[in-house]
């Protein structure tokens, strides 16, 4: 593509998004010497001064899109309220000049950004930002939020943008983003977010069912006042808008998710004494926590029951190690998947029947017959290494240790299997 600015200048802008470690890694890849004690500004100049025009062009082709894509991804997370920092408001300072100011807020900070994109300056938009990257004219995530807002306002056309490359899926990723206006102030919202819970954010909701995977007592100290609460993880959750009565429940409003966090007050906990493995329903407000992410607070109306643990007691051990003392293999299927797109991982999805199990013990002397459970079937994931060494097959009686997990595809399954033995 034809650049409106020199390669060196564009790389200087792009390098502002990188850490000192990233820049030193570039120096290492380029076989440069004498950079170890340089600070970031000096490293940027050192790299640019050490390269020919052809090398600058090659480096730009190799690195530009990945740097741009990472910043745009963070910008989209901010719009989708998935980042610790969020957009407080967007103001149009000068409609004629397309001057836009954006205020951001984080847990303990505030920042502002400025951008002006017009047909006259699209080759080098006016921009400024409080953040370290943007203050040096880099393409920070705040810049891309202003870019998306200006594009949605019709201040420029995407076909005229020549300054940087854009990801191939850029149009697709922003197609559902719309401008929201309240009292002359603006914001960006995603009408159809990838995370369906975002449609319920800051609203009262009802959890219709979910199995407690973990429940941990926590304390917080605010100005000398100690508050006790219970941080709870639910799995296999069905959630929707708040309903007062079951008769008001509409199936089309139910969202099914694999996992969700709840903060239960000490009073609410003591009233029902929920335990790991219980099936829980409740009401509360869905909020975005700066550290945990989307979770439910101000929980009330808790109801519990043994739920799925009555039919499948292995659920009580979710996230924990168990010992399968005896079982029989009924099915085995070879599976493959790519880990982070780098290499194929092979494993064997295995079905067991007549499973006799209990908690994994540190010592044989800790064995307690009262803790032994029996279930009709259990899925297990066997590594290629175990399969190649022991050659298990359908009909074999086996024992093993493993971790109980809730898999989004296979449901309750035993993973990280060890001590695999044919009986």
Helix segments in 168-314, DSSP class H: 170-174, 266-272, 308-311
User: Taking the domains of the chain in order of start, what are their residue ranges?
Assistant: 7-190, 196-307, 313-422
CA-based R_g, the chain, Å? 28
The token pair that represents 318 in the structure block: 């979710």
DSSP codes joined into one string, 115-182: EE--TTTTTS-EEEESSHHHHTT---HHHHHHHHHHHHTTSS-GGG--SS---TTHHHHHTTEEEEEE
From first to last of the 423 residues of the chain, give the pLDDT tens digit. Answer: 678 889 999 999 999 999 999 899 988 888 889 898 899 999 999 999 998 999 899 989 989 999 999 999 999 989 988 788 889 999 999 999 999 999 999 878 899 999 999 999 999 999 999 999 999 999 999 999 999 999 999 999 999 999 999 999 999 999 999 999 988 899 998 887 667 777 788 889 999 888 888 899 999 887 788 899 999 999 888 899 988 777 777 888 888 888 899 999 998 898 888 888 888 889 999 988 877 888 999 998 888 865 555 556 777 787 788 999 999 999 999 988 754 444 567 889 999 999 999 998 878 788 888 889 899 999 999 988 888 889 999 999 999 999 888 776 777 889 889 989 999
Q: What is the pTM of this model?
A: 0.57
Q: Which CATH architecture has domain 313-422?
A: Beta Barrel (2.40)
Quote the crossing angle between the two packed helices 40-49 and 7-15, to the nearest 10°.
Answer: 150
Confirm whether 196-307 and 313-422 share one CATH topology: yes
Longest dimension (CA), the chain: 81
User: Does 196-307 carry CATH code 2.60.40.10?
Assistant: no
Please count the residues of the chain: 423
């Amino acid at each position: 593509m034809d650049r409106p600015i020199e390669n060196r200048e564009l790389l200087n802008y792009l390098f502002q998004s990188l850490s000192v470690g990233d820049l030193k890694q570039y120096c290492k890849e380029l076989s440069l010497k004498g950079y170890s004690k340089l600070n970031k500004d000096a490293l940027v100049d050192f790299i640019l001064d050490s390269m020919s025009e052809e090398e600058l062009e090659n480096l730009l082709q190799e690195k530009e899109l990945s740097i741009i894509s990472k910043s745009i991804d963070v910008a989209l997370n901010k719009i989708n309220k998935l980042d610790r920092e969020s957009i407080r408001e967007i103001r149009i300072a000068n409609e004629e000049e397309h001057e836009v100011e954006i205020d951001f807020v984080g847990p303990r900070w505030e920042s502002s950004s400025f951008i002006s994109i017009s047909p006259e300056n699209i080759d080098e938009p006016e921009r400024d930002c409080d953040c370290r990257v943007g203050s040096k004219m880099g393409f920070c995530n705040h810049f891309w939020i202003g870019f998306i807002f200006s594009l949605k306002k019709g201040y420029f056309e995407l076909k005229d943008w020549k300054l940087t490359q854009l990801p191939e899926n850029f149009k697709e990723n922003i197609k559902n983003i719309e401008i929201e206006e309240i009292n002359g102030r603006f914001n960006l919202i995603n009408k159809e977010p990838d995370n369906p819970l975002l449609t319920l954010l800051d609203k009262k909701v009802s959890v219709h069912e979910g199995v407690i995977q973990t429940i941990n007592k926590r304390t917080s100290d605010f100005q000398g006042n100690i508050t006790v609460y219970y941080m709870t993880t639910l799995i296999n959750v069905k959630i929707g808008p708040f309903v007062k009565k079951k008769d008001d429940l509409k199936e089309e409003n139910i969202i099914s998710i694999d996992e969700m966090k709840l903060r239960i007050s000490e009073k609410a906990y003591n009233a029902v004494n929920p335990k790991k493995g219980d099936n829980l329903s409740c009401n509360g407000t869905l909020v975005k926590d700066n550290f945990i992410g989307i979770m439910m607070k101000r929980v009330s109306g808790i109801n519990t029951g043994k739920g799925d643990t009555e039919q499948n007691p292995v659920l009580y051990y979710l996230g924990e190690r168990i010992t399968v003392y005896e079982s029989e293999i009924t099915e085995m299927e070879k599976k493959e998947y790519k880990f982070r797109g780098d290499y194929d991982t092979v494993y064997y999805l295995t079905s067991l029947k007549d499973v006799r199990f209990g908690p994994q013990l540190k010592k044989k002397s800790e064995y307690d017959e009262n803790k032994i459970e029996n279930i009709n079937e259990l899925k297990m994931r066997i590594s290629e290494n175990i399969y190649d060494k022991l050659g298990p097959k359908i009909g074999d009686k086996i024992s093993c240790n493993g971790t109980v997990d809730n898999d989004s595809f296979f449901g309750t399954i035993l993973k990280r299997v060890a001590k695999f033995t044919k009986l």
